[in-house]
Amino acid sequence: MNHVEENYVEVTEAIRQKGDDVLLQVEVIPGSKHTIMPYGYNIWKKALVVKIKSHPTKGKANKELIKVFKDFFGCDVSIEKGEKNTHKVIRLHRVKVKECEWKIRSALVSDNER
């Protein structure tokens, strides 16, 4: 199984429906050269990996992370857990799991095809 197929299969382990919302396990790499969403998938932590340009000072990285997710998914976003940690649980408001999975998988596949 190649890297793209692994990401395709595994990403479902980071996503779960909670009522009308989706909870997403995320590993953030702050202070990166570029912001990249999604950067990849951590199969050991079962988390989507996101690189953020902002540094984790005074909530700057969290603000950028919320904006990146809001732009990517087109919905309201909040940090459910892990405000002061690189491992976070992100809440996507009024989104279905299948829609979320499709967007992430599409982005991972298109990034890996470059």
- The domain ranges of the chain are 3-108
- pTM assigned to the model: 0.87
Q: What is the homologous superfamily of the domain 3-108 according to CATH?
A: YggU-like (3.30.1200.10)
Residue 77, pLDDT above cutoff 90? yes
The predicted-structure confidence for 53-67, as pLDDT tens digits, reads as follows 999 999 999 999 999
- What pLDDT, on the 0 to 100 scale, is given for residue 111? 58
- What pLDDT, on the 0 to 100 scale, is given for residue 15? 96
- What pLDDT, on the 0 to 100 scale, is given for residue 7? 47
Distance in Å from the first CA to the final CA of the chain:
19
The predicted-structure confidence for 4-40, as pLDDT tens digits, reads as follows 444 455 788 999 999 999 999 999 999 999 999 999 9
What mean pLDDT is reported for the chain? 89
Give every CB contact of residue 47 below 8 A, 6+ residues apart in sequence: 14, 25, 26, 27, 41, 87
